[in-house]
Chain A
């Protein structure tokens, strides 16, 4: 219950309302709460986006990323609350400046955070793409740098080993050949000594048993063969003694080179495996976008979504109206202004009153002095009159009592003056209406607020302009509809034509069907007519 009441008072505050004033215009309470919600949504979203961006894209620890996110959300919240609290009656330029600044912040924030959010959304796909990129780049690096570095010495050493091995093999083969020759010659000598000829593997000999001349030849051949075998064996041993250490060294060198090559490869692999930063992932995302239109569309939509969510407060402030609350707010502002003005006037009044008091005191003193003089004069006159009366009394003892004419004359003048003054005060002799008749008029504030500049008075549009503008609007609308239905591949021009047609329709609405408008509307209608008649052929030419 407490949480609900707290939320109920918080939302209007975030919507820029002062609770004391809102209580006087409760009918606008839901509107102000909606504004508060609209101010909260971008803040929450900004908090989430900044946290994700700093955690995933910039790889900060979660606590640090969340702190930055909360900070950014508070900044956006304060920005939007300031926007909501702005005075409603500001000039259009001030409003445009405020909303423009907020829109620019929104756009920049969207461009900053859209990338990291997209990276977060497509994290798995980006991971695969990143791995493939790393392998391809490692292979390229191996091919371009590691292999050329070790290929020449390895090839030289391997060739030397091969040559040495071939020499040793040739020597061994020669030894084997001479060993076989010695064996054959030994067999032939035995055949000749036994008188065996042409059979049992024996060559043609003398066929006589015993040690004859042929046998002596056979023995000589055997002795030569043994001598050759001995010589060949000696050469083979010498060659082996020479080549074996060299071959061992070469093999060791080859092994070392191969190990170094493998180490370089492993180092490069480790380096490429570590290359998973923001740039690498952004590159992988760009490759995914190139490869799949769905990804690029998702990126565009997400950017638009972020901009839209971020602009929720601005849109809400522009589209929503709280006339009662704004009226109360303006009245309060005016009241404060008037209070200060009245205080100023009161001070001036006090000053005037003090001056009047001083003047009155002076006049009183003067009056007292005048009165004393008058009294003295009256006393003198009375004494003179008494003396004259006494004289007349003595002279006219038989005369009757005096009438009261002078007193009547003295009283009649003030009565007539008072009657005329009262009549004048009622305004009767001024020719005004009946005294009790109420006077209705705008106040000065209302007059100023509802006033319209003479320069923006709407003038009738020329019939030719009306006809041209309507024709342009019709052509553009038809072109947009035709392109959208018959040529889906020309979606771009269709959108341009549709947007232009919508703008022209808005202009038609504001000018009551291209019939009346101020200076800007006249010029806009002419521009729209020209563009509406020229744009369709241009788009068609471009399409063809």
Chain B
């Protein structure tokens, strides 16, 4: 089957529901209009393992990071090579571990990052190559988990209280100034809250014993996981 659609176009057509922590979007093998039998079988195998994945269809491979425009937000899609891309919410990670343990294998993994409009100047509507630094700047750091932020603030408050008590009991302990603690990383991370990455598993067509794939090669694309980054300054108990 000849490729008729690029991955960015397929992803642009896909409008994921805002989910986080174990609410995978409802994908269907036929959603992208490519009811390929092998894809359906892989989806069925994943389903047997208790994991819901979606078959998008076939599209050529590409290297580097590509940016393209979407209706409300822009997207950056790239093969996963960076350690920053391997941070996954626990529930999605457990789902992927189940897939891995079930023997489902994808020779390549791509990740799509949703970015706000205007962060990158994307001239071509069909997508364009973006420098890795610019892409990393646009995607930003992974926001901290709200529970981690809450625990850090709680520990900081506890330490301040301890120091105040000590300063009253022992004046010499006053050298430890108990300044208010603001978690700067959490504030930065809050900027990317609500933007969701999508993880794609890609199976190139044909067999390559050397496991070397080239751009332009035809491949089947699957959506493995998708989530929204939570707002780190909003604890999960209040969400």
Task: Give chain A's interface residues, CB within 8 Å of chain B.
Answer: 334, 337-338, 340-341, 344-345, 348, 352, 421, 424-428, 430-445, 447-455, 457-465, 467-469, 471, 518-519, 522-523, 525-526, 529-530, 533
Find chain B residues with CB under 8 A from A433 CB.
Answer: 62-64, 129, 215-216
Contacting residues, chain A, for B107 (C-beta < 8 A): 443-444
CB distance from B20 to the nearest CB of A (A): 10
Q: Is the CB of B93 within 8 A of A451?
A: yes
Report the Cα distance A519→B179, complex, angstroms.
Answer: 21
Asked whether A442 and B109 contact (CB < 8 A) given A450-B83, A460-B152, the answer is yes
Once the chains are docked, how many angstroms separate the CA of A430 from the CA of B158?
Answer: 56
B105 CB within 8 Å of chain A: yes
Listed A/B pairs (20) with beta-carbon separation below 8 Å: A334-B105, A424-B2, A427-B215, A430-B59, A441-B108, A444-B224, A445-B100, A448-B96, A451-B88, A453-B88, A457-B148, A461-B155, A464-B160, A465-B158, A465-B181, A467-B176, A526-B155, A526-B158, A526-B159, A530-B162
Q: Are B162 and A442 in contact (CB under 8 A)?
A: no
Return the chain B residue nearest A446 by Cβ: B109
Are A430 and B3 in contact, CB atoms less than 8 angstroms apart?
A: yes
Is B26 an interface position by the 8 A CB rule?
no
Give the chain B neighbours of A457 by CB distance below 8 A: 87, 142, 144-145, 148
Task: Collect the chain A residues with CB atoms within 8 Å of residue B27's CB.
Answer: none
Q: Please measure, in the bound complex, the distance between the C-alpha atom of A523 and the C-alpha atom of B214, giving whole angstroms.
A: 48
**Cross-chain contact B66 with A453 (CB below 8 angstroms):** no
Inter-chain contact total with CB atoms closer than 8 Å: 228
Tell me the B76-128 residues at the A interface (CB within 8 Å). 79-81, 83, 86-90, 93, 96-97, 99-100, 103-110, 124, 126-128
Q: Nearest CB to that of B100 among chain A residues?
A: A448
In Å, the complex CA distance between A465 and B153 comes to 10
Which residue of chain B has its CB nearest to the CB of A449? B100
- Known contacts A463-B181, A464-B163, A341 near B87 by CB under 8 Å: no
Closest to B150 in A: A519
* CB <8 Å contact, A436 and B185: no
Q: Is the CB of B105 within 8 A of A462?
A: no
CA distance in complex: A526, B160 (Å)? 10
Do B162 and A427 touch across chains, with their CB atoms under 8 A apart?
Answer: no
Residue among B89, B215, B224 with most chain A CB within 10 A? B215
Q: Tell whether, in the assembled complex, residue A432 and residue B62 are in contact, meaning their CB atoms are under 8 Å apart.
A: yes
A468: which B residues are within 8 A, CB to CB?
159, 162-163, 176
| Minimum distance in angstroms from B131 CB to a CB of chain A | 14
